[in-house]
């Protein structure tokens, strides 16, 4: 699982760095033809827009969560937009530019999502993938997933990781936080993810027991595993990975983890179950995210689509001295 590249847009030189990072990510993903250059254009335009109009803005670049491609997330705490559609019209500009930035991004990207609020800021997700690979949308048979995974400041390895699998109509999600940070924590986290993907459809306690056995000679980890169907949500957690259910009105439910360390002193796993409700977003995050964000979140935050919600939490609530991961699953879907 690749680490998210975080690029603070605190100087116009970040535009070139964003473009080169997006091109390299596309090439690493095996994108061919003009796609790496298109990825570079997307990143350049988004970084330019943040540089001109945003405050305390950043880009987050990474492979797409569930298919081959590139995801570019732009977040700022700027003035926001009173009329987003007008701002995406070619030729419209408030900063003396050609006014083609957001309009160009929307045309080039396979998937484009924007949310903005005056006085709060703007968030954009642009995705680009190999033609014919599906777009990762609900109609494509995959869950709406947002994920951001960043290491502690000064580290290149991230001790957090995540996984998502769809089996027999159920979506199963994992967030793991290796003890400490750095290379040893990253090895423990990646071992847990590999174990998860070997058989993600088995009962949650069995998944945790399998990870416990696999991590016995590692540093150990905190782990949360969540499974949801159209009718029910299950969560089993050991350690301080946090689970929440959100609605546009706020936090519907928080899930607590059992004390212990997977790989060292894991208790017998317990499963928490609640009925699934339409419109709820499932969220897991490591303790690199300050849990106080959930005390009184704004309706703007809790209404964000899955990719933008993950980026918003990392951008505004990350503890910079720790690894941080946020994984979000969009609202439960019911067949008509």
231, with CB counted inside 10 A (0-12, 13-18, 19+), is exposed
Mean pLDDT of the region 157-170 = 95
Q: pLDDT above 70 covers what percent of the chain?
A: 90
Structure-block tokens of residue 289: 């995210």
pLDDT-derived band at 237 (thresholds 50, 70, 90) equals very high
How far apart (Å, rounded) are the C-alpha atoms in residues 246 and 281?
5
164, with CB counted inside 10 A (0-12, 13-18, 19+), is buried
CB–CB of 36/53 below 8 Å? no
How far apart (Å, rounded) are the C-alpha atoms in residues 30 and 5?
18
Q: What pLDDT is stored for residue 332 in this prediction? A: 64
**How many other C-beta atoms are found inside a 10 Å radius of the C-beta of residue 34?**
9
- pLDDT tens profile 193-222: 999 999 999 999 999 999 999 999 999 999
Average pLDDT, the chain: 90
How far apart (Å, rounded) are the C-alpha atoms in residues 308 and 303?
10
Q: What pLDDT is stored for residue 138 in this prediction? A: 46
- pLDDT tens profile 244-281: 999 989 999 999 899 999 999 999 999 999 998 888 99
168 — alpha (psi -120 to 50), left (phi > 0) or beta?
left
- pLDDT tens profile 50-86: 998 888 899 999 999 989 999 999 999 988 887 667 6
Q: Is the pLDDT of residue 336 over 80?
A: no
CB–CB of 43/72 below 8 Å? yes
How far apart (Å, rounded) are the C-alpha atoms in residues 146 and 205?
25
Mean pLDDT of the region 8-15 = 91
For the CA atoms of the chain, what is the radius of gyration?
19
Q: From residue 207, how far is each of 37, 190, 211, 329 by CA, in Å?
A: 41, 15, 6, 19
**How many other C-beta atoms are found inside a 10 Å radius of the C-beta of residue 153?**
11
Q: What pLDDT is stored for residue 88 in this prediction? A: 65
The residues, any chain, with a CB within 8 Å of residue 66's CB and separated by 6 or more, are 136, 142, 143, 145, 164
Mean pLDDT of the region 308-328 = 97
């Amino acid at each position: 699982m690749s680490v998210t590249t975080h690029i603070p847009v605190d100087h116009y030189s970040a535009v070139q760095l964003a473009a080169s990072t997006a091109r390299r990510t596309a090439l690493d993903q095996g994108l061919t033809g003009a796609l790496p250059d298109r990825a570079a254009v997307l990143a350049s335009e988004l970084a330019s827009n943040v540089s001109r109009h945003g405050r305390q803005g950043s880009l987050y670049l990474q492979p797409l969560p569930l298919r081959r491609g590139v995801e570019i997330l732009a977040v700022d705490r700027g003035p926001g937009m009173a009329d987003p559609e007008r701002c995406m019209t070619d030729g419209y500009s408030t900063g003396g530019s050609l006014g083609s930035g957001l309009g160009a991004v929307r045309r080039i990207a396979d998937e484009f999502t924007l949310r903005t609020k005056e006085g709060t800021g703007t968030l954009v997700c642009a995705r680009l993938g190999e033609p014919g690979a599906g777009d990762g949308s609900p109609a494509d048979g995959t869950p709406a997933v947002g994920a951001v995974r960043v290491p502690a400041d000064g580290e290149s390895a991230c001790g957090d990781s995540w996984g998502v699998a769809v089996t027999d109509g159920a979506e199963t999600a994992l967030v793991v936080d290796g003890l400490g940070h750095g290379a040893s924590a990253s090895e423990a986290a990646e071992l847990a993810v590999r174990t998860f993907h070997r058989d993600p459809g088995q009962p949650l306690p069995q998944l945790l027991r399998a990870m416990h056995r696999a991590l016995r000679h590692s540093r150990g980890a905190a782990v949360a595993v969540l499974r949801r169907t159209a009718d029910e949500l299950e969560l089993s957690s050991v350690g301080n990975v946090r689970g929440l259910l959100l609605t546009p009105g706020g936090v519907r439910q928080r899930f607590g983890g059992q004390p212990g360390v997977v790989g060292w002193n894991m208790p017998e796993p317990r499963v928490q179950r609640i009925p699934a409700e339409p419109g709820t977003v499932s969220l897991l995050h490591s303790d690199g995210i300050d849990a106080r964000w959930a005390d009184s979140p704004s309706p703007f935050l809790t209404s964000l689509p899955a990719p933008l919600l993950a980026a918003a939490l990392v951008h505004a609530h990350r503890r910079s001295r720790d690894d941080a991961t946020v994984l979000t699953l969009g609202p439960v879907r019911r067949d008509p």
